[in-house]
């Protein structure tokens, strides 16, 4: 089903990142003919005047707000100011400009870290603000919660059709593979790949290996975003995931089996584990009729293929940076 006309102007904010590039691919598959983008050099999304000017000049009718500063557990704990400031500003400027310039619909993308650290599993949408957040990513989570509240407030006061989706941990092409700032899945792909190239059998995994996480391939997420843009019009945010989780140890074993089957795992328990478990409740999304298609092993293979190809094309810059 597709209700948005193919020539409607659609702005993908953050089109160079993991999610934005997947949304672009999905829109192109859907034959959207009027996709608007702006690089960071062309438009600083943290600058309200610049964002207003851009909206006035380009008049998008639909907006995918998938831009932001993102990163893994280490980046979140060492650069909290950037994570809260950049994300708060980007959410506020884009939502406000979308209201000022009459955007018909906006989809805002949050994160599953908005839920309390010790949330009952699987995590239902209603659990938002029901307990304390995980300290290692609290500033980022607060900015992500503010994004949901912005969409709700502009809907209540001005009648804007702004919706929010909360994805689980994501991975795929154009992810950030930098070992200090990346999330766990690209970090593991890189670690096992480097170990294979260097014929080093030992690969170090951060933490105890016992935290549980749920991973969604980014093209599945993009498909869900287009589906929700077409069919979801509620004030409440909606979870997007696979409904399946595994331990970090199991994840590392899966990546090892694909990238470097001879490797041995070693756990560095001086590194933090973060949230013990993050599994989303998907009842709301499943009721609407959406389910993911790409299973984890297939998704890891696709991502590893993309990574090795990007290394071949550009050996010195395998990472796309860490802006979403
Ligand atoms: O993906 P990740 O950095 O983020 O880490 P979170 C997930 C788990 O993998 C943690 C472990 O228990 C890490 O200790 N891990 C093992 C590793 N080896 C590695 C490694 O080499 N690199 C990394 N990065 N982790 C993030 C939040 O939490 O999730 C963000 O910080 C955001 O705010 C994102 O919400 C989705 O899942 O713990």
pLDDT per residue over 59-81, tens digit each? 999 999 999 999 999 999 999 99
pLDDT value for 154: 99
Of 238, 219, 236, the C-alpha closest to 228 is 238
pLDDT value for 320: 43
Average pLDDT over residues 216-245: 98
pLDDT value for 318: 52
**Which tens digit of pLDDT belongs to each residue from 96-107?**
999 999 999 999
pLDDT value for 321: 43
**Which tens digit of pLDDT belongs to each residue from 266-313?**
999 999 999 999 999 999 999 999 999 999 999 999 999 999 999 999
Which stretches within the chain are classed as H helix?
A: 18-29, 48-58, 73-78, 80-100, 138-158, 184-197, 218-231, 248-259, 283-288, 296-313
Whether pLDDT at 164 is above 70: yes
Decide whether any atom of ligand 1 lies within 6 Å of the 213 Cβ. yes
User: Rounded mean pLDDT of the chain?
Assistant: 96
Q: Which residues are catalytic?
A: 140
- In angstroms, the CA 255 to CA 252 distance is 5
The ligand 1 atom at the shortest distance from the C-alpha of residue 185 is 1
- In angstroms, the CA 186 to CA 303 distance is 8
Whether pLDDT at 169 is above 50: yes
The ligand 1 atom at the shortest distance from the C-alpha of residue 272 is 14
**Which tens digit of pLDDT belongs to each residue from 193-219?**
999 999 999 999 999 999 999 999 999
Q: pLDDT grade, residue 317 (50/70/90)?
A: low
Angle at 233 between CA 232 and CA 237, to 5 degrees: 80
pLDDT over 70 percentage in the chain: 96
Average pLDDT over residues 52-65: 98
To 10 degrees, the CA torsion angle through 90, 95, 99, 104? 120
pTM of the entire predicted model: 0.96
CA-closest residue to ligand 1 atom 36: 169
What is the 109 CA–ligand 1 centroid distance (Å)?
19
Average pLDDT over residues 180-187: 98
pLDDT over 90 percentage in the chain: 94
- In angstroms, the CA 105 to CA 130 distance is 28
pLDDT value for 192: 98
Whether pLDDT at 34 is above 90: yes
Cβ contact 318:307 at 8 Å? yes
Whether pLDDT at 11 is above 60: yes
Report CA Rg, the chain.
19
Cβ contact 186:212 at 8 Å? no
Decide whether any atom of ligand 1 lies within 6 Å of the 189 Cβ. no
Token reading at 122: 């699987």
DSSP 179-243: TTTS-HHHHHHHHHHHHHHTT--EEEEES-S--EE-EEEHHHHHHHHHHHHHH---SS-EEES-S
pLDDT value for 32: 87
Q: pLDDT grade, residue 6 (50/70/90)?
A: confident
């Amino acid at each position: 089903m597709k209700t948005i006309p193919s020539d409607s102007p659609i702005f993908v904010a953050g089109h160079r990142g993991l999610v934005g590039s997947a949304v672009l691919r999905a829109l192109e598959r859907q034959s959207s003919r009027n996709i608007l983008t702006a690089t960071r050099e062309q438009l600083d999304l943290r600058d309200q005047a610049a964002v207003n000017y851009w909206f006035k000049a380009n008049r998008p009718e639909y907006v995918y707000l998938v831009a932001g500063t993102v990163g893994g557990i280490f980046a979140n704990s060492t650069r909290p100011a950037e994570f809260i400031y950049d994300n708060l500003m980007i959410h506020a400027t884009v939502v406000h400009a979308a209201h000022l310039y009459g955007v018909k619909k906006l989809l805002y993308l949050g994160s599953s870290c908005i839920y309390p650290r010790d949330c009952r599993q699987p995590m239902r949408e209603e659990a938002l603000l029901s307990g304390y957040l995980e300290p290692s990513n609290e500033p980022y989570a607060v900015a992500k919660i503010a994004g949901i509240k912005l969409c709700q407030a502009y809907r209540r006061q001005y009648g804007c059709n702004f919706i929010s989706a909360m994805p689980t941990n994501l991975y795929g092409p154009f992810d950030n593979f930098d070992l200090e700032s990346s999330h766990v899945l690209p970090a593991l792909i890189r670690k096992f790949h480097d170990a294979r190239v260097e014929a080093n059998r030992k690969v170090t995994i951060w933490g105890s290996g016992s935290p549980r996480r749920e991973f969604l391939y980014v093209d599945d997420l993009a498909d869900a975003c287009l589906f929700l843009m077409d069919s979801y019009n509620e004030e409440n945010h909606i979870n997007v995931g696979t409904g399946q989780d595994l331990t970090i140890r199991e994840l590392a074993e899966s990546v090892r089996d694909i990238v470097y089957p001879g490797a041995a795992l070693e756990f560095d328990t001086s590194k933090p584990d973060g949230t013990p478990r993050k599994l989303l409740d998907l009842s709301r999304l499943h009721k609407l009729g959406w389910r993911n298609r790409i299973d984890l092993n297939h998704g890891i293979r696709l991502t590893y293929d993309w990574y090795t190809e990007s290394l071949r094309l550009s050996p010195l810059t395998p990472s796309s940076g860490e802006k979403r």
